[in-house]
Chains A and B, each alone.
Chain A
Amino acid sequence: MSDRIPVAPLLSVQGLEVNIQSPKGAVYAVRGADFEIRRGEICGLVGESGCGKTITAKSVMRLNPEDRVVYGGRITYEGTDLLALPEAGMCKVRGQQIAMIFQDPLSALDPLQRVGKQVAEVYRLRGLGRREAAEKAVEMLADVGISPAAERARAYPFEMSGGQLQRVMIAMALAAGAELLIADEPTTALDVTVQAQILALIRELREKRGTSVLIITHDFGVVAETCDRVMVMYAGRIVETGTAAEIFHAARHPYTRDLIASIPQKGVKPVAIPGAPPDLREVIRGCAYAPRCCRVQERCMHETPEAADGAACFFPEVRP
């Protein structure tokens, strides 16, 4: 991506820390994450469950329960520090600038309202008249591949399949005019054939509208399918960043390499990573991956590596 003109990123996250109070103790869920999303880019945030990827995304939207969460660091969206924004200002950002879709779209929609009306509601918020909003909603539903749109707009959420509901969610995000779409495991609950359709739709959005997308997933297949750039997260930190090709073929951080090696693939025996990810309630000394790492050395146990040239590792794989 060297031919890209350097422009200010759409979203930039610096030293993000998230501490959450839970009945089971304080969880230090995000431990200094740095990353950025450029305009018109599809970014993947990959990691295993409990690595803090969903909490990072929710922090960008400020959707974590505010009376239980303490933030550190900075989240800048087009020059505004979102963490310093009062709730009223945040409401304007949510939806209109950044929208989020979830793994389970059924529970994110109002079960008692027709989907067309829910999309139209978004247009109404933007000041459109009732009839105009309804027409726009049907158009938008057609745009995200729901057909026949006029008829399906009259359906209730429970009458639609998972894939269609995810399309409705995307339609709502687009109706609000969001420039950044955060998709948290958007296809995990869907079948492979439907997953392929939704990912194709997300790619199409970027091409047609220039929407930036942050896809949060544990599935490297989804990343390979859609993402330009990938961030790998482990124990609350971004351990490696790179283009999709770099991550798949020339990863530098041992964790990324091990993760890719552990995916069952045609003709290749998957290699399991020993051990389990650390508990984020606990204090971690040194590199969080050190106990499972095959390249671990004395230094890794005491010091925390800072990101350098894409990988936060003292002894990264040398790129050929």
Chain B
Amino acid sequence: MNRRERMRSFFTVPVLLSVAFLLAVLLVSVFAEQLAPHDPDTLDPASVLAAPSAEHPLGTDPSGRDLLSRLIFGARSTMLSAFLVVLISAAAGIPLGMLAGYRRGILDKVLMRLCDAVLSFPSLLLAFVLVAAFGRGIGNVVLSLGILYVPMLAKLTRSLVLVESGKLYVEAAHATGFGGAHILLREILPNIFSTLLIQLMLDVGYAILDLSAMNFIGLGVQPPTADWGAMLQSARIHVKNAPLVALSPGILIVLTVVAFNILGDGISAYLDPAQRKLPSIKRFKKALLRRDPDADPGSKVLPRTRKAGEEAAHE
């Protein structure tokens, strides 16, 4: 299978939709100023919970702010903080996991028991504790969640490194005379990178969920900043009379998380040939029959080619 065919098998409909959606969200959050029709924070007491109109395409929220503009700026806040959470966890978790997995010994034992300790609590509960210690605010929420994501990532990295360390190429590098740093960074890392990348992708999704939860409770972004989680909170009492206001941030959160998950699965299927979809047996058979009859020794009997279990009468 050549590169083009591989790409084609990667871009299935769900993956294409997810990529398109995520790109849109990303672009929107980058160009929020240019795209938003209104300032997201301007209050308009005259039109509270207004229905969609030319002026306000999605209507207004309980404080009379333009809903579309708030969703657009909310995308920026949500995506940025989610990426930051993952970045913090990766910056700490991957190196720690690699060291623990490669060095083993006492360092490994201490680190892993620490991770177990953190993982034995419900993560949101620990996040509350950390935010309580650091103080409210989106910066502290991002930091707390970032720290809480470290153990899982460290454990994953460690187990991947453990598997790779047992492989022959690592021993070969050792026998050749390479040192630990070279082996870890230039031999092992390239082999575990793709799996880590997929995990980070999934983590972005989880981070969006957790951040929304924290913002929903009011620990994260403070009013009037637009954020999907916070918007969900402020509009939830109006879910009956203004469903769009209450539901739209929720729907966006769900869609983004699902899109990140589909993309992660897609990438792992692309990287692992065993998971790749092959053309159906019928198409395969047709392709075989088209094959050059002079080329292969046995192909003159090819018209008899059949799938096992078919009646001989079909020939």
Contact = CB atoms under 8 A, between A and B. Distances in A.
Do the two shown chains form a genuine complex with each other? Answer: yes
Interface string A1-36: 000000000000001010101111110100110000
A109 interface: no
A270 B305 CA distance: 41
Contact of B305 (A19, A21, A24): A19
Interface string B295-309: 111100110111111
Interface in A80-136: 81, 83-87, 90
A154 interface: no
Contacts of A288: 297
B109 interface: no
A53 interface: no
Interface stretch (B66-74, B114-122, B221-229, B275-283): B275-283
Contacts of A189: none
A23 B301 contact: no
Interface string B254-288: 00000000000000000001101011010011011
Given A19-B284, A26-B287, A70-B285, A62 B301 contact: no
A30 to B, nearest CB: 8
A31 B306 CA distance: 14
A284 B295 contact: yes
B292 interface: yes
A66 B297 contact: no
A85 B305 contact: no
B312 interface: yes
B55 interface: no
Interface residues on B, range: 20 to 34
B274 A32 contact: no
A284 B306 CA distance: 22
Contact of A70 (B274, B284, B311): B284
A90 B308 CA distance: 10
Contact of B309 (A23, A31, A66, A237): A66
Contacts of A237: 297-298
A24 B276 CA distance: 10
A201 interface: no
B296 A28 contact: yes
Given A31-B296, A284-B296, A23 B307 contact: no
Contacts, number: 89
B304 A72 contact: yes
Most buried by B among A28, A67, A70: A70
Interface residues of A, number: 35
A284 B308 contact: no
B302 A17 contact: yes
B305 A17 contact: yes
Contacts of B292: 283
Given A84-B312, A86-B309, A283-B292, A25 B297 contact: no
Contacts of B295: 283-285
A173 B150 CA distance: 52
Contact of B308 (A15, A21, A62): A62
Contact of B306 (A32, A70, A85, A283): A70
A284 B297 contact: yes
Given A21-B279, A23-B273, A83 B297 contact: no
Nearest to B289: A70
Contact of B1 (A23, A66, A87): A23
A26 B307 contact: no
A85 B310 CA distance: 7
A54 interface: no
Nearest to B295: A283
B305 A84 contact: no
B289 to A, nearest CB: 10
Interface in A51-76: 62, 66-73
Contacts of B309: 66, 83-87, 90
B305 A70 contact: yes
Contact of B274 (A23, A31, A285): A23
Contacts of A22: 278
A126 to B, nearest CB: 25
A304 B297 contact: yes
A68 B281 contact: yes
Contacts of A90: 309
B232 to A, nearest CB: 43
Contacts of B284: 19, 21, 26, 68, 70
A314 B89 CA distance: 68
Contacts of A24: 1, 273
Interface in B82-132: none
Nearest to A67: B281
B280 to A, nearest CB: 8
Contacts of B285: 70
7 contacts: A17-B298, A31-B297, A62-B308, A69-B308, A71-B308, A81-B312, A87-B309
Interface of A: 15, 17, 19, 21-26, 28, 31-32, 62, 66-73, 81, 83-87, 90, 236-237, 283-285, 288, 304
Nearest first, the 4 closest Cβ-Cβ pairs linking A and B are A32-B298, A304-B297, A23-B273, A283-B295
